Amino acid sequence: MSTVLQAIANGLMIGGFYAMMGMGQNVIFGVMKIINFCHGEMLMVGMYLTFVLYTFFGMDPYAAVPFVAFIMFILGACIQSSLITPSLGTKSFTNLLFLTVGLGTLLSNIALVTFGSSFRTITTSYTGNVVQLGPVTMGLPKLISFVVTIIITILLFAFLKYTTLGKQIRAVSQNSVGAEVVGINVKGIYILAYGIGAALAGTAGALLTLFYVISPTAGSIFSFRALIVVVVGGLGSIPGAFFAGIFLGLLETLVSLLVSPMYKDLIVFVTFIVILVIRQNIIARRR
């Protein structure tokens, strides 16, 4: 029983990361209707940024989170205004597919050239600390990271729900023509949304560094998971992405425990396909 609880705790934790990735992806998809295929690489960049801040500036990885988020926001905003906004004008999905996939390749190769292919880790004085929560034992870094992901999720919800900018983001997602009519700066919202997406991915990367190896390809697994989260949770839906992320994390750890870690990916993707088929049928029947 306690192993199941342990697996659930781990699942929630990793699910929090998937949720954060999925929500970032969904903010971007919501306003621009494009899929950001370099989302995982942005997480990887966040990891290396944290690594640099830790190694060269002696900054604690958690203290680095706001800096990483800020730098990633600026990076995202620059990518949006210099590359994505101009290609949106072509209205070609293929263009944007190649653009974002290419960006991802570029980012991971820059990391490869700069840091080499060897795996890096960050070890702090509290890396090995554990916290006992009833029957569940959890590494302190994992617990802190989980709490931070929850806080960020709540902040994102509140931002989108109550602030003027948040409302404008939702307005553009729901109806970009209507948004233009009421004088919302739609291009500005694009930049903001992409910046938020990049910042969320970077933050997830920063929070992962304490218990995950840092490598130029570390993001790819999260890239795929983020796509699953987005599709299962509903394109553009932030709460959907959150719950789908948690669900995916739980599914993975429970399968690893109850079946075998070997079948983890298999079962995750089969479930994904099953959900797609079932939902397609429901949608078809509704029509």
Partner 1 sequence: MLKVRGLNAGYGSIKIIWDEAFEINDGEIVAILGSNGAGKTTTVRAITGLIKPVSGSVEFNGEDLAKKSSRHILDKGIVQVPEGRQLFTGMTCLENLEMGAFNKQLKADFKKNLEKCYTWFPKLKERASQIAGTLSGGEQQMVAVARALVGEPRLLILDEPSLGLAPNIVDDILKVVKELAETGVSVMLVEQDITKALAVADRGYVIENGCITLEGTAGELVTNEHVKKAYLGI
Q: Which residues bind partner 1 (CB under 8 A)?
A: 167-168, 170-171, 173-175, 177-185
State the minimum distance, in angstroms, from the CB of residue 246 to partner 1. 22
Query: Which residues, including other chains, have CB under 8 Å from residue 277's CB and lie 6 or more apart?
Result: none
CB of 90 to partner 1, least distance (A): 13
**Nearest residue (CB) to partner 1, 34 versus 179:** 179
Decide: 30 and 210 in contact? Cβ < 8 Å: no
Of the pair 167, 264, the CB lying nearest partner 1 is at 167
Cβ of residue 239: shortest distance to partner 1, in angstroms?
12
Q: Shortest gap between Cβ of 168 and partner 1 (angstroms)?
A: 8
Q: How many whole angstroms separate alpha carbon 146 and alpha carbon 148? A: 5
Shortest distance, position 227 Cβ to partner 1, whole Å: 23
Nearer to partner 1, 118 or 164 (CB): 164
Closer Cβ to partner 1, 53 or 179, answer by number: 179
How large is the angle between the packed helices 2-32 and 39-57, nearest 10 degrees? 110
Q: Minimal distance in Å, beta carbon 157 to partner 1?
A: 14
Q: Please, which residue, 55 or 163, has the CB nearer to partner 1?
A: 163
Residue 74: CB minimum distance to partner 1, A: 25
> Is 33 or 167 the residue whose CB approaches partner 1 more closely?
167
Nearer to partner 1, 36 or 168 (CB): 168
